[in-house]
Structure 1
């Protein structure tokens, strides 16, 4: 079943705190943050979809993304709009039992961890399998198709955490064991590179 669960990568943000650089295109080893997310997703799923918004044309001109591209023209309204348009696209596909949602700016979220989420989900005991953070739950997370309508109704900056919070009794939380760090500012990016012993170009 793991190979049949679509993966939706959210990559529509404007990188306002990245000192003029496009976050999705920041180098990560021999690739970029966005390409790394796609590569990890493709190791466990044959159906990978990326929501682009800000700088979408520059991103598409700069690299060849091996995934289905969904453009969110309303990206300025927040992450909820990207989830909504992405889930609506997934809902148009046939026989989709669940969906995994992840971010492009969490480079330590590898295929091993994503697969562990799927392994928990396929046990059939929970409608949501999400990532545990210190004070909340979030993505990467897998949602059963019975929650697609709720995800598709998200708007503005209300993200998947709201759906998880509304369905706590049906949610299993998984410890990411340090993989949850994300890249929001340039200093965070440089620190992650150093910790991973990746040369900063």
Structure 2
């Protein structure tokens, strides 16, 4: 059975949220972080590694204390997302890294499972990227054969360059599931998703 490591990136600066830390913002009684973690914990990952940085103490208090989650503090979180990915995979032991964003509170457990099942189809690809109407989504999955390449990666903004360098090994999973692209970066993002819910174009 393939072991999938969930690496949850929760160390960002949240600089686009105009002073507020987006992961601590509430949605229907729960923070964005708690809602994101709820779905992740409903999946049978071999391990869940949460990478913390800014507001680490406040986020740590929101994490379940049952031993099922490992937390890692990224002292270099201000340098960008890549440093958090690297901090997570240094601790990961699974065969596949599932790079989860902690600001995607609308993803469901079934969404993660869909990607994991697709990865297990053994189609000769070992990177998986969800694609909604041409827009790349998250989470992105990497086989652990990319560990050294990711650790040596210098682009601070994530692993898109690694995806581009290995295009022949990438499985672009086309889906009509909007949730794979629903992350929260600015306050109007929340307004947009609530508006979509009211118009019944998307159900939270």
TM-score in same-fold range (> 0.5): yes
In the other structure, the counterpart of 2:113 is 115
Alignment of 1:13-162 (within 5 A): 13-44=12-43, 45-61=45-61, 63-65=62-64, 67-90=69-92, 93=93, 96-125=94-123, 126-132=125-131, 137=136, 139-155=138-154, 157-162=156-161
Q: Per-residue displacement from partner, 1:120-174 (whole Å, max 9, x unpaired)?
A: 1111121011122566645311111111111222345231212211111111112
Structure 2 length normalisation: TM-score?
Answer: 0.84
Q: Per-residue displacement from partner, 1:24-44 (whole Å, max 9, x unpaired)?
A: 111133322112221111111
In the other structure, the counterpart of 2:178 is 178
Whether the aligned pair in 1 keeps the contact of 2:5 and 2:95 (CA below 8 Å) is: no
Whether the aligned pair in 2 keeps the contact of 1:139 and 1:160 (CA below 8 Å) is: no
Whether the aligned pair in 2 keeps the contact of 1:9 and 1:37 (CA below 8 Å) is: no
Whether the aligned pair in 1 keeps the contact of 2:130 and 2:140 (CA below 8 Å) is: yes
What's the C-alpha RMSD, in Å, of the aligned pairs?
2.1
Q: How many residues of Structure 1 are paired with residues of Structure 2 in the alignment?
A: 191
- For 2:110 and 2:119, the matched residues in 1 are separated by 14
- SS of equivalent to 1:112: helix
Where does the alignment leave 5 or more consecutive residues of structure 2 unmatched? Answer: 199-204
Whether the aligned pair in 1 keeps the contact of 2:127 and 2:143 (CA below 8 Å) is: yes
- For 2:137 and 2:160, the matched residues in 1 are separated by 5
Distance apart, 1:65 and its partner CA: 4.1
In the other structure, the counterpart of 1:163 is 162
Distance 1:187 1:158, change over 3 A: closer
Where does the alignment leave 5 or more consecutive residues of structure 1 unmatched? Answer: none
Whether the aligned pair in 2 keeps the contact of 1:8 and 1:101 (CA below 8 Å) is: yes
- For 2:52 and 2:171, the matched residues in 1 are separated by 29
Whether the aligned pair in 2 keeps the contact of 1:8 and 1:48 (CA below 8 Å) is: yes
Distance apart, 1:191 and its partner CA: 2.3
- For 2:132 and 2:149, the matched residues in 1 are separated by 22
